[in-house]
């Protein structure tokens, strides 16, 4: 098998005005008469606040109707796709895991690329697939993956895939460029690359050494499954599952 060559007091101010009344000694009875109208005078002010308190419940009615308007906006359907990997999450990200790949329906875009343009070309391929899937209302059902079907020192031929739940009945293609197909199946070894994509050749050297030590003869095609999103080829947290299938 040929692997790749080139990462968040109540403070009330009580103002009491104290009126100092000077009462002359001889004229004390005449001021007593005005004292009688002064007594009903304070009784009038309390009547005014009582009439003002009656209209206060009136504005409460429009406020109760206000929350009823946002209520219909609450139900909004949200779709979340199952983006699981071909193998479950690795129990040991630094080690090698053995398992069996189960074939899934998928969309396939085939193309060629040089090694220097690998990241950009694969990113463009998945962008193209995602765009057509959105138009057709098809949701992804797994992480995107690439099968490198033929490689040499100059470049490679590839099949970019996005797993889906099912193929529409009677359909063989989504567009003339994007076909329906199936992901690989069968026994496989998974290796995890978590570094810049530009540094993935180092992981392939480790894979080659492992296969040689274990005397495992692998199939010519190898599989990359992208756990991370395609953003930057130099992102050191870029994670890729690399699947190698042995010949039987």
Q: What length does the chain have?
A: 248
The full set of domains in the chain, from first to last, is 97-244 (3.20.80.10)
Q: What is the pLDDT of residue 3?
A: 57
**pTM listed for this prediction:** 0.67
- Mind listing the pLDDT tens digit for each residue in 170-222? 899 999 999 999 999 999 999 999 999 999 999 999 999 999 999 999 998 99
Q: 26 vs 19, 30, 36, CA distance in Å?
A: 21, 9, 19
**Residue carrying the six token digits 């009038």:** 44
- Mind listing the pLDDT tens digit for each residue in 29-85? 444 444 444 444 444 444 444 444 444 444 444 444 444 544 444 333 333 345 688
Cβ–Cβ under 8 Å, residues 156 and 125: no
DSSP labels for 192-248? EEES-GGGHHHHHHHHHHHHHHHTPPBPS-EEEEESS-SS-TT-TT-EEEEEEPBP-
Q: What is the pLDDT of residue 207?
A: 95
């Amino acid at each position: 098998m040929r692997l790749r060559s080139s990462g968040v007091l109540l403070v009330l101010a009580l103002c009491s005005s104290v009126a100092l009344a000077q009462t002359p000694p001889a004229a004390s009875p005449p001021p007593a008469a005005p004292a009688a109208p002064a007594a009903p005078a304070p009784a009038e002010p309390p009547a005014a606040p009582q009439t003002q308190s009656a209209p206060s419940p009136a504005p409460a009615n429009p406020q109760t109707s206000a929350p009823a308007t946002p209520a219909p906006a609450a139900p909004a359907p949200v779709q979340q796709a199952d983006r699981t990997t071909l193998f479950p999450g690795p129990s040991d990200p630094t080690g090698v895991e053995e398992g069996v790949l189960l074939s899934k329906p998928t969309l396939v875009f085939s193309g060629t690329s040089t090694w220097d343009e690998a990241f950009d070309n694969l990113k463009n391929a998945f962008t193209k697939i995602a765009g057509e899937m959105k138009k057709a209302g098809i949701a992804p059902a797994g992480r995107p993956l690439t099968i490198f079907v033929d490689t040499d020192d100059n470049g490679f031929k590839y099949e970019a895939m996005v797993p889906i739940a099912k193929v529409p009945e009677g359909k063989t293609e989504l567009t003339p460029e994007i076909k329906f197909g199936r992901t690989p199946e069968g026994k496989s070894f998974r290796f995890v690359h978590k570094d810049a994509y530009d540094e993935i050749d180092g992981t392939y050297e480790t894979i080659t050494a492992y296969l040689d030590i274990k005397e495992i003869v692998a199939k010519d095609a190898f599989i990359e499954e992208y756990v991370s999103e395609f953003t930057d080829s130099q992102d050191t947290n870029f994670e890729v599952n690399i699947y190698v299938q042995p010949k039987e």
